[in-house]
Amino acid sequence: MDVAVNLGIDARKSDQNVRGATVLPHGTGRSVRVAVFTQGANAEAAKAAGAELVGMEDLADQIKKGEMNFDVVIASPDAMRVVGQLGQVLGPRGLMPNPKVGTVTPNVAEAVKNAKAGQVRYRNDKNGIIHTTIGKVDFDADKLKENLEALLVALKKQNRLRRKACTSRKLASPPPWVQVLQLTRLA
């Protein structure tokens, strides 16, 4: 189940752009494979938290060969010199770690747990609208509602949106049963 939130911002102005991440209370219903760039004690903590791939240069070599069997990339700040060289591979796929969405962090174990728990990343498009997933179609209505409310709370916490009104929201289920529900003033 996807949601589109019209933020009522001018996306051409960089100070109004919105980007972030939040953990949904009931997750997205998908299993996520996580790759972590780190070393030492952080590597052990990342493995314990559930990361499938952990490494530095060896993991970078795998990615350069085209072996990309993961959905999220997390990096510790000291690993960014290695990850930076992979920008042309990870960037177009939307996998490049970024401190704004919590994928570059010294506490990689917590970031792995968040990714596994159903963290969604959001970013406004050129029209000032955020598109993201809040769950599966077979979730019950209460779970979807709580996930949507968690997303809206995270959006309202952003300083740029405190004075702006989120005017229209749409929920859309994916094909083959595309349905669009128009919602108004949920939060």
How far apart are the C-alpha atoms of 24 and 120, rounded to whole Å?
7
The pLDDT score that the predictor gives to residue 6 is 84
How far apart are the C-alpha atoms of 151 and 166, rounded to whole Å?
12
How far apart are the C-alpha atoms of 45 and 112, rounded to whole Å?
9
Domain coordinates in residue numbering, the chain: 2-29+119-183, 34-116
- Joined together, the tokens standing for residue 38 give 């780190």
**169 and 5 Cβ atoms separated by less than 8 Å:** yes
- The backbone torsions φ and ψ at residue 36, rounded to the nearest 5 degrees and listed phi first, read -125, 130
- CATH for 2-29+119-183 (3.10.129.10, 3.40.190.10, 3.40.50.1980, 3.30.190.20): 3.30.190.20
How far apart are the C-alpha atoms of 126 and 134, rounded to whole Å?
21
* Across 14-18, 53-57, 147-151, 181-185, least confident range: 181-185
The pLDDT score that the predictor gives to residue 161 is 55
Could you tell me how far CA 21 lies from the centroid of its own chain? 5
Could you tell me how far CA 136 lies from the centroid of its own chain? 16
34-116: CATH topology is: Rossmann fold (3.40.50)
pLDDT band per the 50, 70, 90 thresholds, residue 187: very low
- Predicted confidence (pLDDT) per residue in 99-156, tens digit: 888 899 999 999 999 999 989 988 889 988 888 888 888 888 888 889 988 998 888 8
* Arithmetic mean of pLDDT, 162-172: 55
Sole residue written with tokens 């990361």: 51
Cβ within 8 Å of residue 85, ≥6 positions away: 60
The pLDDT score that the predictor gives to residue 160 is 58
Report whether pLDDT(172) > 70. Answer: no
pLDDT band per the 50, 70, 90 thresholds, residue 45: very high
In the predicted model, what is the mean pLDDT of the chain? 84
How far apart are the C-alpha atoms of 166 and 155, rounded to whole Å?
9
Q: At what angle are helices 108-117 and 41-49 packed, to 10 degrees?
A: 20
The residue ranking higher by pLDDT, 110 or 164, is 110
Q: Within a 13 Å sphere around the CA of 148, how many CA atoms are in the beta-carbon half?
A: 22
